[in-house]
């Protein structure tokens, strides 16, 4: 990891090495690289000039075409006025940078919404209000944490900031 960019890899259960390359660049730069077709991997690798060849090989020696995923986020603490008969859950309610929480929160939202509806038979408005009352602070907390992880991984002090992040996480346990 370094300011604005990083290479992340993990081994899948079948032994496949799966690589994510993170680049904080303008959307039109990313679109241009995506449009360059077979040249895309070389263009991405050039952003990592001077990095260890074993790391840049994770970009250049891939066996599948890259998948481009722009990362969007709602502001931490995003909320809305109660609207009768309607609510949101999962990413639609609290889209945040990936930090290991999004799928878990989406499933938790679904379970919490189901519980709220079951606890208020025939009174959907009370159920939706109760669900949102718990969901807003829960997701705001997670979104702030996701921003912190993103900053630790790709901010100005990366990778030192990530080491500090883990140090402080483990020292408080």
Ligand X SMILES: Cc1cc2nc3c(=O)[nH]c(=O)nc-3n(C[C@H](O)[C@H](O)[C@H](O)COP(=O)(O)OP(=O)(O)OC[C@H]3O[C@@H](n4cnc5c(N)ncnc54)[C@H](O)[C@@H]3O)c2cc1C
Query: 5, 30 in Cβ contact below 8 A?
Result: no
Least separation in angstroms between CB 149 and ligand X:
11
- Rank residues 103 and 144 by Cβ distance to ligand X and give the closer one: 103
What's the distance, CA 60 to chain centroid?
Answer: 24
- Rank residues 109 and 130 by Cβ distance to ligand X and give the closer one: 109
- Rank residues 23 and 120 by Cβ distance to ligand X and give the closer one: 23
Rounded to whole angstroms, how far apart are CA atoms 20 and 91? 21
Binding mask 53-82 for ligand X (x = CB under 6 A): ----------------x-------------
DSSP state of 148: H
Cα angle 128, 104, 4 (rounded to 5 degrees) comes to 115
Least separation in angstroms between CB 166 and ligand X:
17
- Rank residues 78 and 120 by Cβ distance to ligand X and give the closer one: 78
Least separation in angstroms between CB 42 and ligand X:
22
**Looking at 7-15, 36-44, 84-92, 111-119, which segment touches ligand X (CB under 6 A)?**
84-92
Query: 74, 88 in Cβ contact below 8 A?
Result: no
Q: Which helix (H) or strand (E) holds 102?
A: helix 102-119
What's the distance, CA 77 to chain centroid?
Answer: 16
- Rank residues 41 and 108 by Cβ distance to ligand X and give the closer one: 108
**98-137: contacts with ligand X (CB under 6 A):** 98, 100-104, 106
**86-105: contacts with ligand X (CB under 6 A):** 90-92, 98, 100-104
CA dihedral 55, 58, 59, 60 (to 10 degrees): 100
HSE-CB of 148 using CA atoms within 13 angstroms? 13
Backbone angles phi, psi at 13, to 5 degrees: -55, -30
Least separation in angstroms between CB 50 and ligand X:
26
Residues binding ligand X (CB under 6 A): 69, 90-92, 98, 100-104, 106
């Amino acid at each position: 990891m370094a300011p604005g960019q990083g290479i992340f890899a993990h081994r899948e259960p079948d032994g496949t090495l799966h690589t994510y390359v993170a680049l904080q660049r303008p959307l039109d730069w990313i679109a241009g690289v995506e449009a360059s077709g077979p040249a895309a991997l070389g263009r991405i690798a050039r952003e990592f000039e001077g990095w260890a060849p074993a790391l840049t090989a994770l970009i250049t020696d891939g066996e599948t075409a890259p998948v481009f995923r722009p990362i969007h986020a709602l502001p931490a603490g995003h909320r809305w006025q109660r609207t009768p008969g309607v609510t949101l859950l999962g990413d639609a309610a609290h889209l945040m940078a990936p930090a290991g929480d999004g799928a878990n929160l989406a499933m938790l939202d679904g379970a919490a919404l189901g519980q709220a509806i079951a606890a208020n038979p025939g009174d959907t408005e009370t159920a939706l209000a109760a669900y949102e009352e718990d969901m807003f602070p829960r997701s705001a907390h997670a979104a702030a944490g996701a921003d912190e992880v993103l900053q630790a991984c790709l901010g100005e002090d990366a990778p030192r900031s990530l080491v500090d992040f883990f140090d402080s996480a483990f020292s408080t346990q």
